[in-house]
Homo-oligomer: A and B are copies of this chain.
Amino acid sequence: MKQMMIMALTMCCMTTAQERGIINNSTSPNSKLRSIDLDQVRWTGGFWKQKFDLVKDVTIPEMWTYFNDGGNSHWTNFRLAAGLAEGRWSGRSWHDGDFYKWLEAVAHVYIVTHDSVLDHQMDDVIAVIAKAQQPDGYISTQIILEKRKRFENIHHHELYNMGHLMTAACIHHRATGKTNFLDIARKTGDYLYETFKDRKPELAHFGFNPSNIMGAMELYRTTGERKYLDLANIFIDMRGSRPAGSRHYGLGGTDQTQDRVPLRKETEAVGHAVTATYLYCGAADAYMETGDTTLLAALHRIWSDVARRKLYLHGGVGPLTRGLSIRNDDVHEAFADPYLLPNRKCYCETCSNIGNAMWNWRMLNITTEARYADVMERVFYNSGISGLALDGDHFFYSNVLRRLSSNVPLLRSDTPERWKHRAGYCCPPQLARTIAKMHGFAYSTSENGLWIHLYGSNELKTKLSDGTAVKLIQETDYPWDGDVKITLEPARQTTFTLWLRIPNWATEATIKINGSPIKSDIKPGTYVTLKRTWTTGDTVELNLPMHVKLIQANPLVEELRGQVAVMRGPLVYCLESIDLPDNVNVMDVRLPRNIHLQPRFDKQLLGGVVVLEGKAVAGVDSDWSGEPFDSPVLYKDYTPTDPRLVRLRLIPYYAWANRGAGQMTVWMPLD
């Protein structure tokens, strides 16, 4: 009976899809920028088209195969909870949420492809989810199947699961126009509102992995129902409201869960880096709707703390793995002290790095400030995609900046090569949904303006705020080349502003309009304002010279002292042992201060990458017999030896560990 009703609803609600951006901030009063509708842009070639196709053709279908594997529980648990199969719940408590992330990725792909197979697949899945949902709207398969008490233990991840349900349902609604999933989400949102509206003290510590805030915000934006906004704000307000009592993880307010200090009073980024960035995203969403400046002020303080003191070069965050600070279960996968940025034992979980990008995306929309786009792009081309193998089907949790041994497991989740399946499977669907919607991060609109954040070959068809339809075509080999040709095709001659992002690494950028150079002062780390009356066929040629750059860190970062990293454009490069002569250790290599590194596009290598080639110094004075872990001493006399030159080849960091297990480093000592 219930299933029939849902099917009826599904059929009668095939209205026009209300496509919106990846954050549905088209009506948010406190956001200066609005994200574009998700079906208005698509990659036409190049870097992100390649990644999108990989996710569409390999990652998403392989994941579904995995979820359907009898040995794996993600999908099985829903079928069990729906009464469609018999057996016991198994897996990890957060698997529901990860399944919803996969479903969100499918919806994003559907927006681009309109592949009816995907549509039907989603409907089938949603029908089962509907059956699994409890009559009062609650849904979390572990609690249902194991008949556990709800909201008894924060580790059960109930709000993480329901948060991702709400987000995925909103995306599905935008993708298809259907309400079959959105109705489930509404029921869940209603249930959560009833449960949390009284702000019961015993619930204060729940929602510690706060996709629930973003989920409730998205549901508010999609439905317009005020109570979902209230729900999101309740979740924000409850955190840090009861810091007293036991300091234990899960039992009281701890820094690990961003639950010791109320967010509005927080001054720094602390604790688990995924839950932190998700919280900051949710708070930014809330600010966009409410204009609560106490939230925005806190986000500014925390952002500054991260940017100045806690950000890895590759855009990753959260160095502490379990064990970095002795055998301490209370703090892990977390932000560390200022300037503490170890390379080898950095955690930098794929999910937290992407969370960092999602947060910066929101800050960019709120403020229009290019510094947020710089961080976002840094993540997307580096630590945000290094978790995905080039085959589309193997994954890293942690994204270290150095690996010296394939024999010594240092991080629980750190394997020499990417893995295919793992019980903890949060990062793979996170990668899938992020890459599937990457085009949504490329543009925003504002009052009579169009903003370009990311460069890549794509076509945009959107409407200006005055209603004029505009087509925009980007042609570029970015990030391999800094030439970007933009062709504008407004439906009629019209005056508006095109805002072009000049990345913070792009010194000496030039712009031509219809072939004529513009003379304005083009500063890195800004948006250039091109306000004029545009006619169909107008071209903008942007050149962002991709100089190879050596990068140094603030000397307060002790792990990076006396070393440099290499970047070209938005890409961080690294040295892998496979690219060195056999008898040279990655740790032996030093970069001459005046090193010349020549870029060369190698079509055959790693799916096609620009490598950087030059001559480095290999000094055996750092010889620790190959395996420093076995060294019986910590200190040795240093005796300089005649250095010899070795051929150096650096590859983009994101593509590392795709040629077998080996050594790798991003930072190298100067010579």
- The chain A residues found within 8 Å of chain B, CB to CB, are 246-248, 255-256, 260, 270-271, 307-309, 311, 313, 320, 323-331, 334-337, 340, 342-345, 402, 404, 549-559, 561-564, 587, 590, 593-594, 621-622, 624, 628-629, 631-640, 667, 669-670
Contacts and interface: CB of A to CB of B under 8 A. Distances in A.
Contact of A343 (B550, B558, B562): B558
Given A313-B635, A593-B640, A635-B313, A556 B325 contact: no
A405 B633 CA distance: 31
Contacts of A248: 246-248
Contacts of A260: 327
A331 B325 contact: yes
A670 B562 contact: yes
A58 B577 CA distance: 59
Contact of A328 (B325, B552, B635): B325
A632 B669 CA distance: 24
Contact of A562 (B326, B327, B562, B640): B562
Contact of A669 (B330, B331, B336, B561): B561
B311 A634 contact: yes
Contacts of A323: 337
Given A345-B337, A561-B561, A562-B669, A622 B325 contact: no
A345 B344 CA distance: 19
24 contacts: A247-B330, A248-B248, A260-B327, A270-B327, A307-B634, A311-B634, A323-B337, A324-B336, A326-B331, A328-B328, A328-B330, A328-B331, A550-B638, A550-B639, A551-B635, A551-B637, A552-B621, A552-B636, A553-B635, A554-B634, A593-B621, A593-B640, A594-B640, A669-B669
Given A561-B563, A628-B556, A669-B670, A637 B549 contact: yes
Contacts of A330: 247, 328, 330
A325 B629 CA distance: 23
Nearest to A564: B638
A230 to B, nearest CB: 31
B324 A325 contact: yes
A632 B328 contact: no
Contacts of A638: 549-552, 564, 670
A631 B308 contact: yes
A308 B247 contact: no
B635 A308 contact: no
A556 B307 contact: no
For the complex, would chain A's binding face be called helix, strand, loop or mixed by DSSP majority?
A: loop
Nearest to A563: B562
A620 to B, nearest CB: 12
Given A550-B638, A556-B628, 18 more contacts: A247-B330, A248-B248, A260-B327, A308-B631, A313-B635, A325-B331, A340-B342, A344-B558, A549-B638, A550-B637, A552-B621, A552-B637, A555-B622, A555-B628, A558-B558, A562-B562, A562-B590, A669-B670
A125 to B, nearest CB: 39
A282 B51 CA distance: 61
Given A311-B634, A326-B320, A561 B559 contact: yes
A313 B638 CA distance: 14
A410 to B, nearest CB: 9
Contact of A629 (B334, B553, B556): B556
Contact of A308 (B313, B549, B634): B634
Contacts of A327: 255, 260, 270
Contacts of A559: 558-559, 561
Contact of A326 (B247, B271, B329, B587): B271
A598 to B, nearest CB: 18
Contacts of A621: 552, 593
A555 B587 contact: yes
Given A248-B247, A640-B594, A554 B635 contact: yes
Contacts of A311: 634
A308 B329 CA distance: 24
Which 8 A/B pairs are nearest by Cβ-Cβ distance?
A325-B325, A562-B669, A562-B562, A593-B640, A558-B559, A550-B638, A552-B638, A555-B587
Contacts of A345: 337
A555 B628 CA distance: 7
A636 B507 CA distance: 13
Contacts of A670: 562, 638, 669
Contact of A552 (B313, B337, B564, B622): B622
A325 B631 CA distance: 27
Nearest to A557: B634
A120 B317 CA distance: 63
B326 A270 contact: yes
A296 B513 CA distance: 79
Given A325-B325, A326-B271, A309 B550 contact: no
A1 to B, nearest CB: 50
Contacts of A594: 640
A307 B633 CA distance: 7
A657 to B, nearest CB: 20
Contact of A255 (B326, B342, B590, B633): B326
A247 B640 CA distance: 49
Nearest to A324: B337
A434 to B, nearest CB: 24
B337 A634 contact: no
Contacts of A639: 550
A346 to B, nearest CB: 10
Residue among A343, A404, A629 with the highest chain B CB neighbour number at 10 A: A629
Contacts of A549: 637-638
A192 B112 CA distance: 77
A544 to B, nearest CB: 15
Nearest to A631: B554
A334 to B, nearest CB: 6
Contacts of A255: 326-328
